[in-house]
Structure 1
Amino acid sequence: MTDEAMQPFERIAQDVREQVRLGQLKPSDKLPSTRELASKYAVAPGTVQRAFAELRRDGVIYSHKGRGSFIRENALEALADPTTQAIRRLEEQVANLTTRLERVEQNQSSGSAQP
């Protein structure tokens, strides 16, 4: 989608996502206020709130009433494509199964040594 075809809230959300991908925004970083972003993008505060709602839904940010909005610890993972996310989950499962198998084998070898 070109920038011209994007709704303003989509452009704001896309800019935040890109800043996270590039490392310009890091986990726990505080985002500018709704008012500041509304001024920067020349939009109504409600437009920024809509962008924040999308980013919260996607797991990129979290908000605390009265404190602001912040980048989530796992924001980069939330931005990964679904295939990459599935591969990461499978890698974690394989690592967990490997650990469990090693424990079983260790228990069997120590159990067979007993009379």
Structure 2
Amino acid sequence: MTDEAMQPFERIAQDVRDQVRLGQLMPGDKLQSTRELATKYGVAAGTVQRAFAELRRDGVIYSHTGRGSFIRENALAALADPTAQAIRRLEEQVADLVARLERVEQNQSSGSAQSS
């Protein structure tokens, strides 16, 4: 995918991945803040947050509220294994579907209790 075809959040995430692959970002390194990256890329903070969410999902970074986001110890391995990334995405989708189903079932049971 060319840079022009990428969404801004995808470009930011890809830049971080590339920096990890090239050894410019190492395990434990702290990423720039959301605000700094938003300024650097000329995007909204939410766009950077979306890139961080993708990187967390792929196992490249982890975040601590109030402390920042950091490169995971096994980030390079996560980038090298697309199967593991696909499995993580599927696990997240299944967890999301389970949560939605539980909400639907809860709404149905509370609705039937009210109509009784």
Provide the TM-score with structure 2 as the length reference.
0.70
1:12 and 2:12 equivalent? yes
Question: What is the CA distance between 1:19 and its match in structure 2?
Answer: 0.1
CA RMSD of aligned residues (A): 1.1
Output the amino acid matched with 2:28. S
Question: Deviating runs (4+, > 4 A) in structure 1?
Answer: none
Q: C-alpha offsets along residues 91-114 of structure 1, whole Å, 9 cap, x if unaligned?
A: xxxxxxxxxxxxxxxxxxxxxxxx
Whole-angstrom distance in 1 between the partners of 2:81 and 2:25? 19
Identity over aligned pairs, percent: 88
Whole-angstrom distance in 1 between the partners of 2:76 and 2:6? 22
Count, aligned residues? 84
Structure 1 residues 42 and 82: CA distance shift in structure 2, 3 A: closer
Aligned to 2:70: 70
Whole-angstrom distance in 1 between the partners of 2:82 and 2:74? 15
Q: Which runs of 5+ in 2 are unaligned?
A: 85-116
Q: Residue 13 of structure 2: SS of its match in structure 1?
A: helix
Matches within 5 A, 1:82-93: 82=82
Provide the TM-score with structure 1 as the length reference.
0.71
Whole-angstrom distance in 2 between the partners of 1:70 and 1:76? 13
Matches within 5 A, 1:28-43: 28-43=28-43
Whole-angstrom distance in 2 between the partners of 1:82 and 1:40? 28
Q: Residue 69 of structure 2: SS of its match in structure 1?
A: strand
Matches within 5 A, 1:23-62: 23-62=23-62
Q: Residue 59 of structure 1: SS of its match in structure 2?
A: coil
Q: Which runs of 5+ in 1 are unaligned?
A: 86-115
Q: Residue 5 of structure 1: SS of its match in structure 2?
A: coil
